[in-house]
Amino acid sequence: MSSAYGDAYAVKMTSGVLVTCDSAAKQILLHLDSMRDGPYKFMIRDVDETHIMIKREYVEEIKELLQDELEKNTYIQDPNL
């Protein structure tokens, strides 16, 4: 009998939240995650073009970070023009 860690058929489960977003928002999230170290990374798995799995405890923080990044990239017309 082999241990669960040495068994090629062992199942590993991780709890997370599946995020659905457009590809532009996903790229921002991937970039934000790449700027973090080790245990502070929030991404669990890059699923496909419009989905990523993230750690549940980071959901609210990520919403705020994404909103801040999207606002930085929003065009605001100068009222003096």
The residue count of the chain comes to 81
pTM over 0.85: no
17-72, what's its fold?
Alpha-Beta Plaits (3.30.70)
pLDDT digit string (tens) for the chain, length 81 residues: 455 566 677 888 888 999 999 999 999 999 999 999 999 999 999 999 999 999 999 999 999 999 998 888 777 777 787
Terminal-to-terminal C-alpha distance of the chain: 76
The single-letter DSSP state of residue 42 is -
Rounded to whole angstroms, how far apart are CA atoms 58 and 19?
12
